[in-house]
Amino acid sequence: MFRKLKEDIDAVMERDPAARSRLEVFFLYSGFKAVRAHRQANWFYRHNMKFMARLISQRARKKTGIEIHPAAKIGRGLFIDHGMGVVIGETTEIGDNCTLYQNVTLGGTGKDTGKRHPTLGNNVLVGAGAKVLGPFTVGDNARVAAGAVVLDAVPPDATAVGVPARVVKIGNTKVGPASRQLDQIHIADPVSMELCRLRGELERLQAKVEELASGGSGGLFEEKAP
């Protein structure tokens, strides 16, 4: 138990530049408190004391704003940053050294039975507001962008973005045209693009009018003799 506590605190210290001391993490970090409570609740759940497991998880939800089902399987070094609004479903499995940001949902679609929630490999990062829904696997070292809605498996070392999410990069290699269309940082302003198009069209028409006015079209604008 103490080894797991140390690993969870170390995960926060390594990945949160705002963390100043282990004491601060232990007493004040809601993500750490939620994971610590889950490890207790999971022990009771595995020993068939499900009421006590639920009691612990619901108290933690009330205190931290993070809801983790007691049956969820969580590996070492999970870091939940900020944490408010995070939901982790019953059959979720999370590997070692994963990072979740606020408003992440690891949930189901309502269409599956048995295994209903996702499995995250090791070293997976899920950005703020992302939804990972369904009984599939997000591979080791994968990245899910903020706000993405993931409905299918994500390969190891991949980056998934968009709604619905698409894989745009595996390792350092971009994948297909989606990597350009779903770039969440370098997105062109559609209004600016339309204004540029209209300006180009206006300049073309002005040039045509000047050409016609100068007689380039056989005197289209010249007065006809009566």
Does residue 182 form part of some domain?
A: no
pLDDT at 200: 87
- Considering the domain architecture, whether residues 201 and 155 belong to the same structural domain is answered as no
Does residue 79 form part of some domain?
A: yes
Phi first, then psi: give them for residue 169, nearest 5 degrees. Answer: -155, 140
- Considering the domain architecture, whether residues 33 and 91 belong to the same structural domain is answered as yes
pLDDT at 4: 82
Does residue 123 form part of some domain?
A: yes
Q: What is the CATH number of the domain that holds 86?
A: 2.160.10.10
- Considering the domain architecture, whether residues 31 and 86 belong to the same structural domain is answered as yes
Longest dimension (CA), the chain: 107
pLDDT at 179: 46
- Considering the domain architecture, whether residues 203 and 157 belong to the same structural domain is answered as no
- Considering the domain architecture, whether residues 99 and 196 belong to the same structural domain is answered as no
- Considering the domain architecture, whether residues 130 and 226 belong to the same structural domain is answered as no
- Considering the domain architecture, whether residues 140 and 34 belong to the same structural domain is answered as yes
Where are the alpha helices (H) located in 158-189, listed in sequence order? 178-181
Between the two ends of the chain, the Cα-to-Cα distance in Å is 105
Distance of CA 181 to the CA centre of its chain: 17
- Considering the domain architecture, whether residues 134 and 204 belong to the same structural domain is answered as no
- Considering the domain architecture, whether residues 162 and 112 belong to the same structural domain is answered as yes
Does residue 154 form part of some domain?
A: yes
pLDDT at 180: 47
The residues, any chain, with a CB within 8 Å of residue 158's CB and separated by 6 or more, are 139, 142, 143, 167, 169, 170, 175
For each of the chain's 226 residues, which pLDDT tens digit applies? 778 888 889 999 999 999 999 999 999 999 999 999 999 999 999 999 999 999 999 999 999 999 999 999 999 999 999 989 999 999 999 999 999 999 999 999 988 889 999 999 999 999 999 999 999 999 999 999 999 999 999 999 999 999 899 999 898 888 765 444 445 455 556 677 778 888 888 889 988 898 888 875 554 445 545 5
- Considering the domain architecture, whether residues 132 and 194 belong to the same structural domain is answered as no
Does residue 218 form part of some domain?
A: yes
Distance in angstroms (rounded) separating the CA atoms of residues 112 and 135: 8
Domain count, the chain: 2
The three-state secondary structure class of 138 is: strand
Q: Which domain holds residue 199?
A: 188-226
Instruction: Calculate the alpha carbon distances from 57 to 60, 102, 119, 120, 203 in Å.
Output: 5, 18, 20, 21, 66
- Considering the domain architecture, whether residues 109 and 33 belong to the same structural domain is answered as yes
The residues, any chain, with a CB within 8 Å of residue 8's CB and separated by 6 or more, are 32, 35, 36, 76, 77, 78, 79
Distance in angstroms (rounded) separating the CA atoms of residues 147 and 136: 19
